[in-house]
Amino acid sequence: PLWTPADALTLGEWVKERIAIPLDEWETLAAALGAEPREALASDPTLGGRIALIRREGAGLPAMVHREWAALWKQEALTRLGPWLRFEGPVSIARIAAVFGVTVAEAAGAADALAESGDLVTDVTLAVSGGTAETAGEALVCDRENLELLLRLGRKKRRSAVPERPAALIVPYLALRQGIIPGPAAGEPWSVLAGYPAPAALWESDIFPVRLAAYTPETLDRELEQGRLLWYGAGRERIAFAPLADLDLCMADSRQPPFAGAEGAFFFDTPRDFWEIRDYLGPDDTLTVLRKLWNEVWKGILSADSFEPVRRGIAQGFIPKELVRGAEEIAAAGTIAARFGVNPALPRVPRRIPRALRDRWRAGPPLPGRWFSLAADDPLDGSEDALDGEELDRRRVRLLLRRWGVLARPLLEREEPCLSWGRLLPAIRRLELAGELTAGRFFAGIDSLQFASPDIGRELEAAENFTGIYWMNAADPASPAGLRLGGLDAGAELSRLPGARLCFRGAALIAVSGRNGRDLRISIPPEDSGQEEALGFLTYPRSCSGGRHKKILIETINGVSAAQSPYADALRALGFLPDRSQLVLW
């Protein structure tokens, strides 16, 4: 319906595009025509000589052919089998032989050639529900794109419709999916967040603790020590985690050995401590070695068997200022020595080692841990089996599905290139054809295709029914900050700054803490009965295991001095004390 040719000219062009329409199909088409093309056929079956009914020698039935194809159809019809099949559903080899006037063996040979080039799928079986058909159970062939379309349409007809939800619901949905809100959908955070890059300081202060109520640094250390998990750099002072089984999915295929140009390609086959690395690199001073080492770490080339180097870097600086100052003092001393003719290579030997230096030496190396290379043993060079690459991409899609639940371009924009939307969309499509994913409009405001697991309906209902209070850092993977979706109020106007935290009740944003708590915006009224619970997240930095705040200072609330705000009483109940115009939690 609505697709039949509207006039004789369109009908002639349709025949030309189809190359040849077998007589039985032509009769079905003619019976469905509107008045104008039907009258044109009745008065002139050839439409002015543009079409003709031709039976090839040996053909079981004639076909309607456009005059531009008539000579080819009579002489070498089988060369147009591929284009002809693009306008057919699944057909049998016997039907191809009957239409093209060739033997079954010749038809099968032509179909096999198309299958080898990837244009045709063989051994397709048609199952008919509630009736019988001549081709039911028979092995058929079908154009690949047509088969994918038919499978997609079939699944769409069978699946129950999932109504579209408002964009704001994506916030509790992701919080449930990623374990910020406790629920059955989320797994261990390092599995759910595998391969996701985030500021190094946030993992133990805001990301892991909000997902694991009893989180301590020992929790992470245990996973690393037992070899189930490792961390790696994903940009300057950015870290990602991955279970060992997922490492190839999260990292680029072309990981090169560390310290390009250095001798000894297999040096890091054995984990090395800082002093061994310094000896390996040659006469470089400690500061230079530190800079080189962290540079390799941020490129995702080196990692350590402990997270302690990152913790120390967060607390003291990845390049400690005292080392920088020491190097500057040495350089300045060398300049002065050169000016006055003193040989800096012959310094006065001290009679004893100062206590401060002796204690520093006893404290261990400038960087703890044993370091190893993340370079691939056999980096991909493009010669691998395409099926291997396809399977890797399918596993990447499943990894992202664990994290997001819904796959759409705006969400995957936060991912690394190997997990990007553009790279994985073909694999997503194939998983949809296999029935592992379903396409739909799950959230309003997403200007992109959306894919999810077939049981997403239950997860959406759980998000709709959740009305509790929860919070997250603005740079958290689940944060809506910077997420540009139509209808998502808590999105584009918020910045993904690590010093900001967002508090929600259900899908509604009720408080925003900026500048590490100094600026506070609250959208619920002061008389709200859940005010103290909603503002409880402000005390978190003083209690969390990864927190480094000695005090929490609130300067303004909704643009008013904190001590004079109508919300001051609720904050006093949480332990904040007035200090002039501010509120302080010691």
Q: Could you report the per-residue pLDDT of 294-333, keeping only the tens digit for each?
A: 999 999 999 999 999 999 999 889 988 777 766 555 555 5
Whether 518 and 555 have beta carbons less than 8 Å apart is answered as yes
> Quick one: pLDDT band at residue 512, thresholds 50, 70, 90?
very high
Q: Which two tokens stand for residue 211?
A: 């997902």
Amino acid at 117: S
Edge-to-edge strand ranges of the sheet holding 238-243: 198-199, 238-243, 229-233
Question: pLDDT by residue (tens digit) across 147-176?
Answer: 988 888 887 776 667 899 999 999 999 999
> Quick one: pLDDT band at residue 354, thresholds 50, 70, 90?
low
Q: What are the percentages of helix, strand and coil residues in the chain, rounded to 5? A: 45, 15, 40
DSSP letter at 265 equals T
Reference 137, options 121, 124, 129, 126; nearest CA is 126
Q: Give residue 360's pLDDT.
A: 44
Strand, coil or helix: what is 44? coil
Q: Give residue 240's pLDDT.
A: 96
> Quick one: pLDDT band at residue 251, thresholds 50, 70, 90?
confident
Percentage of the residues of the chain whose pLDDT score is greater than 70: 85
Average pLDDT over every residue of 282-295 = 87
Q: Residue 371 forms beta bridges with which residues?
A: 272, 304
The yes-or-no verdict on residue 383 having pLDDT over 60 is no
d(CA 127, CA 121): 16
Q: Give residue 586's pLDDT.
A: 82
Question: pLDDT by residue (tens digit) across 185-218?
Answer: 667 899 999 999 999 999 999 999 999 988 889 9
The yes-or-no verdict on residue 505 having pLDDT over 70 is yes
Crossing angle of helices 170-177 and 386-404, rounded to 10°: 110
Q: Give residue 351's pLDDT.
A: 46
Look over the chain and give the mean of its residue pLDDT values, rounded to a whole number: 85
Strand, coil or helix: what is 439? strand
Question: pLDDT by residue (tens digit) across 36-67?
Answer: 999 999 999 999 999 999 999 888 999 999 99
The yes-or-no verdict on residue 389 having pLDDT over 80 is yes
In this predicted model, which residue has the larger pLDDT, 583 or 358?
Answer: 583
Q: Give residue 390's pLDDT.
A: 87
> Quick one: pLDDT band at residue 531, thresholds 50, 70, 90?
confident
The yes-or-no verdict on residue 110 having pLDDT over 90 is yes
Edge-to-edge strand ranges of the sheet holding 577-579: 552-554, 582-585, 577-579
Question: pLDDT by residue (tens digit) across 468-498?
Answer: 999 999 999 999 998 888 878 766 578 889 9
Q: Which two tokens stand for residue 415?
A: 């991912």
Q: Give residue 355's pLDDT.
A: 52
Whether 451 and 428 have beta carbons less than 8 Å apart is answered as yes
Q: Which two tokens stand for residue 408?
A: 């759409």
Residue 381 φ/ψ region, left for φ over 0, alpha for ψ in the -120 to 50 degree band, beta for the rest = alpha
Q: Give residue 130's pLDDT.
A: 55
Q: Give residue 149's pLDDT.
A: 87
Average pLDDT over every residue of 94-117 = 93
Amino acid at 541: P
Whether 34 and 6 have beta carbons less than 8 Å apart is answered as yes
d(CA 404, CA 451): 10
Q: Which two tokens stand for residue 536?
A: 């409880």
Edge-to-edge strand ranges of the sheet holding 438-439: 406-407, 451-452, 438-439
Whether 460 and 443 have beta carbons less than 8 Å apart is answered as no
What lies within 8 Å, CB to CB, of 277 at 6+ separation is: 289, 293, 371
Q: Residue 64 forms beta bridges with which residues?
A: 21, 53
Average pLDDT over every residue of 234-259 = 86
